[in-house]
Chain A
Amino acid sequence: MTAETTERQFNIDTVEHAATTPDTELPWAELGLKRNEFDEIVRILGRRPTAAELAMYSVMWSEHCSYKSTKVHLRQFGDKLTEDMKKDLLVGIGENAGVTDLGDGWAVTFKIESHNSPSYVEPYQGAATGIGGIVRDIISMGARPVAVMDPLRFGAIDHEDSQRVVHGVVAGIGGYGNSLGLPNIGGETVFDPIYQGNPLVNALAVGVLRHEDLRLANASGVGNRIVLFGARTGGDGIGGASVLASESFDDTKPSKRPAVQVGDPFAEKVLIECCLELFKNSLVEGIQDLGAAGISCATSELASNGEGGMQVELTDVLLRDPTLTPGEILMSESQERMMAVVSPENVAAFEDVMATWGVEYSWLGEVTDTNRLIITWDGETIVDVDPKTVAHDGPVYERPYHRPAAQDALVADRFRDSTSGADLPASGDALRAAVLELMASPNMCDKSWITSQYDRYVGGNTALAAPDDAGVVRVDEETGLGVAVATDANGRYAFLDPYAGAQLALAESYRNVATSGAVPMAVSDCLNYGSPEDPEVMWQLAEGIRGLSDACLELGVPVTGGNVSLYNQTGSKPIHPTPVVATLGRFDDVGRRTPSGFHHEADGQAVYLMGV
């Protein structure tokens, strides 16, 4: 497993070169950086960045990776935590996924993430790789993934583009999740024209682990080796960054860089088993999945979470496309890859596990005591940075926000005052017709045309799945210990009142978990909103986070992780604020779970309506 080739000829922009060519024009704007952000990079480095450094900063300082617009608000999830809420938290927000203690030495990790815009561009692959990405987050905690869920939002069911998006997304989620052997235990499907150009494809994964198998993404222990394993690196997902195709920035050679990633669920299934064997035999010290921002993210996060520095030789990365430049390799979003830190005495055992599963790997470098992340290309330094400045000290914005002027009118616009509200059903027949109309609406009617495309049986531990209110999986066969998860959101409520809407989303998923018979323990959220640069959207977002964090405090359940998806808008028209909230609960014994719906066993039993 040596480097494929080191003969590739590029005009390599080294640190040395950068220091002596301060005036080189760099495509920072094309890479999505703002002037002030680029100036900050120059200030941090004390010189202009190299092409490779520019690539790293630009992806890591993106909204997606840095949470620059929401950081100041998301803090509330950490601030509004009581000691009681923390008592079962083994790992909180900040890691790949939060981890909650289940007792008996078991722990559970779960997280929800978005893959919205890729799923609009290429529905099948976008949704498939959404499942792939969230599952790798779960593996990287040391857990075995045990279930997935998929809350979805589509445009109008009869719009000409919906067929492409809906069927592609559902097939992609099934195609990837089914191939991994992960039961799909629930989700949501909502049709609303507001999502026409911005469908929401959120994916959730749950994993379980023994306490001793817990792994974190940090590179510690000077001399420990850095290894990249799984799929080879291709040009996936860097279509937008094709300005890097020529790293000298002076000519524009045509480049073919796929903007979409194609998933390989088989490779991921093998990666799961391979990682579990590594964990079981304690062969990795730290581990990180490669998702958005690929190697940039993995190296800078591992290094900055560790105690030293890291040295990496980039020509040792195994490539699918040998024409990739260093900057592109750093940004590539090729799927089904992991990076791990392995102590020298475990190198041989690590290689044995790779051989068993037929997984490719390459040793890239080692942990150092320099506090610097140094990346070389054939021995020449092309990145020399403090990894914290890449991974954690990105820009933070206090974006202006205000309540929309039209909000009052929106709230005042009551259905009963409208023309259609004037003839609310009065007679029995009219009521009957209204009920039938409601039941036939795409949002109310049977979802089994979707759920029948998902495997809910695999694993043999699914105690509840569609059509139940919550999904339930058994964790321990001996005791029946298990978990329940439900996801919910209502974008129309949140549009009317972003604060209360987020709270209602939590309340609904909390109720769904509770009615299944589980005790709610933890929350993960995926905040789907429009552009944060629009002060009215920013207000929805600020209110949503404030509302959700207040409600979590009230109910005593901590947010253990989540994801923010912004810029979900077509032109200046944002989607409704859609905070999708997932609640996880615990069962002592899943044998006591309560299915939703009536069964003929229940003939003759009484029906009660509880609550207000």
Chain B
Amino acid sequence: MTAQSNHAAELPLIGDFSTAGPVLTGARIGVVTFPGTLDDRDAARAVRLAGGEAVALWHAEPEGAQALSGLDAVIIPGGFSYGDYLRAGAIARFAPLMDAIIDAAGGGGLPVLGICNGFQILTESHLLPGSMIKNENLKFLCTDQVLRVENNTTAWTRDFTAGEEITVPLKNQDGQYVADERTLDELEGEGRVAFRYVGANPNGSRRDIAGITNAAGNVVGLMPHPEHAVEAGFGPDSPAGMRLGTDGLGIFTSVLASIAGSAGHTAGTTAGGTQ
């Protein structure tokens, strides 16, 4: 993960993904890889397709803060970090890099997105409230899922309209979002439900919650996979045609817009000092 690719051309399946791709905004977005992470290449591709530059982050970076310096946002992608053994996200949460991410994300700092396993890691880290338990029917479920964007003011959702319905793949076994009633009321009261499932609730999540944000709107977690709906031909079915759905791209363009809209690329400073 750390070595540079020898191949000049972009090789999406073999080699390093961090250097290739058009960079439109100059924004640099870190994509974290834990042992067992699966969707890191996909998240990096989504960042590139949105116009940003993806930077590979290894979970064991000894100098976490330094690894984050110069980055404008971080994505914790999906997969089965540490096999999802014990509890999904439970072991990954203790990676040295996570401490730095928790620090940098605090107080409305670094934009952080957790997708699926990444969301689970964010709840285990208490950056986001609640937790995930097994799907109601106990089975892994892979399906094209309609979501409603409930909050379009976060760093990761501003390119959507409020109430917009989008289709992105959902795929997980531990996707049932739970929290105590007080927390749920609070989330709803403060408008911190970012995404809700539309149609039949696929996994039993409380109040159809698919994704939430922290109070500052910089940390967002969701179970479905927007990075799998960014490229026509490889996404979910859409009204335009089979596998043509690209609704997920808005998540990644949103953060680029947020970064461009904020005072320059300052995340490095919040993450522990400019180098």
Contacts and interface: CB of A to CB of B under 8 A. Distances in A.
A and B touch in the complex (CB under 8 A): yes
Interface of A: 144, 146, 171, 174-175, 178-181, 208-210, 213, 264-267, 269-270, 273, 276-277, 280-281, 356-358, 451-464, 474-478, 590-591, 595, 597, 599, 601
Given A174-B140, A266-B82, A459-B41, A208 B242 contact: no
Interface in B1-23: 1-3, 5-7, 9-15
19 contacts: A179-B84, A181-B39, A181-B79, A213-B14, A266-B35, A269-B80, A281-B3, A356-B1, A455-B142, A457-B169, A457-B228, A460-B42, A460-B228, A460-B230, A461-B13, A463-B234, A476-B13, A597-B242, A599-B241
B83 interface: yes
Contact of A266 (B11, B83, B143, B242): B83
Contacts of B15: 280
A265 B35 contact: no
A171 B7 CA distance: 38
A174 B85 CA distance: 16
Contacts of B142: 451-457
B35 A477 contact: no
B45 interface: yes
Given A453-B142, A457-B171, A474-B234, 17 more contacts: A175-B140, A210-B14, A270-B35, A454-B140, A454-B142, A457-B142, A457-B228, A459-B41, A461-B13, A463-B243, A475-B13, A477-B10, A477-B45, A595-B242, A599-B242, A601-B240, A601-B241
A314 B85 CA distance: 31
Contacts of A358: 35
A246 to B, nearest CB: 35
Contact of B38 (A181, A208, A456, A476): A181
B171 A460 contact: no
Interface centre among B10, B85, B141, B228 (most CB of A within 10 A): B228
Nearest to B44: A460
B228 A144 contact: no
B139 interface: yes
Interface centre among B1, B13, B41, B140 (most CB of A within 10 A): B13
Contacts of A462: 234
B13 A208 contact: yes
A188 B165 CA distance: 34
A590 B242 CA distance: 14
A601 B84 CA distance: 40
Task: Determine chain A's interface SS by DSSP, over half rule.
Answer: mixed
Contacts of A269: 35-36, 38, 80, 83
Nearest to A143: B14
A461 B45 CA distance: 11
Nearest to A464: B243
B83 A265 contact: yes
A327 to B, nearest CB: 31
Interface in B135-178: 139-143, 169, 171, 173
B35 to A, nearest CB: 5
Nearest to A105: B7
A270 B91 CA distance: 15
B227 interface: yes
B188 interface: no
Contacts of B38: 179-181, 269, 458
B225 interface: yes
B235 to A, nearest CB: 8
A208 B14 contact: yes
A191 B230 CA distance: 38
Contacts of B14: 144, 208-210, 213, 276, 280
B1 to A, nearest CB: 7
Contact of A590 (B169, B230, B233): B233
B72 to A, nearest CB: 22
A270 to B, nearest CB: 5
Contacts of A459: 13, 41-42
A475 B11 CA distance: 9
Contact of A453 (B12, B41, B80, B139): B139
Nearest to A458: B38
Nearest to B232: A591
A269 B83 CA distance: 9
A454 B171 CA distance: 8
Contacts of A208: 13-14
A458 B42 contact: yes
The 3 A-B pairs with the shortest beta carbon distances in the complex, nearest first, are A266-B83, A181-B38, A477-B12
A460 B9 contact: no
Contacts of A461: 12-13, 234
Contacts of A457: 142, 169, 171, 225, 228
A591 B10 contact: no
A595 B243 contact: yes
Contacts of A144: 13-14
Contact of B83 (A179, A464, A475): A179
B41 A266 contact: no
B140 A146 contact: no
Nearest to A592: B233
Contacts of B103: none
B204 to A, nearest CB: 16
A12 B75 CA distance: 55
Contacts of B231: 460
A265 B83 CA distance: 7
Contacts of B242: 595, 597, 599, 601
Contacts of A277: 1, 3
Contacts of A474: 12, 234
B233 A463 contact: yes
B227 A460 contact: yes
A485 to B, nearest CB: 16
Contact of B10 (A452, A453, A454, A478): A478
Contacts of A281: 3
A181 B228 CA distance: 13
A590 B234 CA distance: 10
A601 B243 CA distance: 12
A336 B47 CA distance: 33
Nearest to B40: A181
Given A265-B83, A463-B234, A476 B42 contact: no
Nearest to B91: A266
A478 to B, nearest CB: 6
Interface centre among A144, A265, A454, A457 (most CB of B within 10 A): A457
A457 B42 CA distance: 10
A280 B4 CA distance: 10
Contacts of A171: 139-140
Contacts of B3: 277, 280-281
A474 B35 CA distance: 24
Interface string B24-68: 000000000001101101100100000000000000000000000
Nearest to B141: A452
A210 B7 CA distance: 10
A155 to B, nearest CB: 22
A477 B141 CA distance: 27
B190 to A, nearest CB: 32
A452 B140 CA distance: 8
Given A264-B83, A269-B35, A460-B41, A178 B9 contact: no
Contacts of A477: 10-12, 45
B261 to A, nearest CB: 28
B193 to A, nearest CB: 24
A458 B39 contact: yes
Contacts of B82: 266
